[in-house]
Amino acid sequence: MTENPVRAPRPFARKLPPWSVLAAGIVAGGLLGGAYGVVEPATYTATSYVIAVPTDRSDTATAQGFAQAYGRVATQLAVLGDAQMWAGVPVNTLRQSVQTETSPDAPMVAVSATSPHALQAADMANAVARSLTRHANDTKADTHVELLQFSRASKPTAPTSASPQVTGLVGASAGGLLAGLVLLMRPRRRPEETALQASVPGPAVAADVHGQL
């Protein structure tokens, strides 16, 4: 009676070291981030400034308060409706592209516009600032505050959006972070499983035992 030969168990595939998973995440994130920076079009931002000036029947504190109010109404439909004629873009484009900012220390309003085209960004910022000035001065007899153009927006010479190098670094950081989280969340072997695997004889030991039999 011929005995069936004992087949040696196949060696387990060697697992990749943890650092390789981390490196793969960094490389993949960097490539994706760099590609996003290349595909995404560059944007330009231009800013125009207007200042609230008190009249003879007002003071600086009153002008400061109205400057805060004008900063909030600059993106309202009444102001943007007139600004679209000078900017040459629809109201929805102005609503999505124009932002305002006020200062707690000065009665000034900054009107910023963002666009893929540098000249268009400047035109939109100047148009909204002009429209805001006209609307504010229509009621200066009642508010005793006059709104004046302080600085016109000029055509930006450099984009304000992130470059492919920056987006690549951000992507690499995010990829490394995700890979690190994956390594931390992977299931760990229990001590009894490790001891059991250590007690199983390897192929050479199994062959020796069969030969002795």
Q: What is the mean pLDDT of residues 176-185?
A: 71
* Res 171 pLDDT > 80: no
Question: Which position has the higher pLDDT, 179 or 68?
Answer: 68
pLDDT at 84: 92
Beta-strand ranges (E) seen in 59-166 are 98-102, 108-115, 145-151
Question: Which position has the higher pLDDT, 4 or 102?
Answer: 102
* Res 199 pLDDT > 70: no
pLDDT at 13: 42
pLDDT in tens, 40-59: 667 899 999 999 999 888 88
Q: What is the mean pLDDT of residues 138-153?
A: 91
Indicate the pLDDT class of residue 31, thresholds 50, 70 and 90: low
- Cα 161 to its chain centre, rounded Å, is 10
* Res 205 pLDDT > 80: no
Full set of structural domains in the chain with CATH = 44-151 (3.30.70.1130)
Virtual torsion, Cα 47, 156, 76, 94, nearest 10 deg: 180
CA distances to 22, 53, 76, 154, 173 from 42, in Å: 31, 37, 27, 18, 22
> What are the backbone dihedrals phi and psi of residue 102, each rounded to the nearest 5 degrees, phi first?
-115, 160
pTM as predicted:
0.62
pLDDT at 40: 60
